[in-house]
Amino acid sequence: MNKIARFILFDILKNKIVIFYTVLLFIISWSVLGLEGNYTKATLSLLNVVLLVVPLVSIIFSTIYVYNSSQFIELLLSQPVARAKVWFNIFLGLATALILAFLVGCGLPILLYSSIETGFSLIIIGIMLSVIFTSFAMLAAVLTRDRAKGIGISIFIWMFFSIIYDGILLVLMFQFADYPIEGIMATLAGLNPVGLSRIFVLLQLDISAMLGYAGAVFAQVFGSGGGMGISLVVLLLWAAFPFLISLINFNKKDL
């Protein structure tokens, strides 16, 4: 890890918000998994928490951190360091810190109380969501100099993928219920990293009734093994594309 990324990592790990985030995740995870006797119910409850809290904290905290580090970024760019290297190391430091916070907060209780397969899938999607929404945060921060507007963009991105997108799919399902839209719905399911993360874990539990329409179609079209493999590949693409777009914009931006 580069010196820039290490500096950012240790700086974030000392941040009170990140410490509170870690402790909050640990308390919630331990309470849900340790005190709930029904294993499936506990896993689903923790999954819902991870799908809402991890993306929200990752995108809001990362966006604010980038704006607060504007003078630090300008100082780095005044040195003989490539812009791409600076931007990548900021992303690397942010993503690593949020991943470590998630692993301590959720990973430890999951390893102690959950089954190996389902617990491992929960940890994977927590890591992926941390990286994906950090990537979105980098994009939101580079699109505008206005901090309020950048944070607003980040909140909208979180709301769109966590809440609005499912409503759009539901409307499409009712409007085109008489047509063979299984393949289209399976494709649309892959366009939402939060919904895809939910499907990834629920395929491990093999609860088709709780997958939702898009998730059930996804499992039907690709099968459990294939569906999980495709889900993971698409999540990796979701992590890469927003960051690459932000990097292109950052290289062109006049600071």
pTM of this structure = 0.88
Q: Which domain holds residue 151?
A: 3-252
What was the pLDDT predicted at 87?
92
Conformation bin of residue 146: beta by default, left when phi > 0, alpha when psi is -120 to 50: beta
pLDDT tens track, the chain, 255 positions: 578 888 888 889 888 999 999 999 999 888 887 776 666 777 788 888 899 999 999 999 999 999 998 888 888 888 888 888 999 999 999 999 999 999 999 888 888 776 666 778 888 999 999 999 999 999 999 998 888 999 999 999 999 998 888 788 778 777 776 776 666 776 777 788 988 888 777 777 655 555 555 555 666 655 555 667 777 888 899 999 999 999 999 988 766
What DSSP assignment string belongs to 55-88? Answer: HHHHHHHHHHHHHHTHHHHHHHHTSS--HHHHHH
Domain count of the fold of the chain: 1
Q: What are phi and psi of 206, to 5 degrees?
A: 60, 50
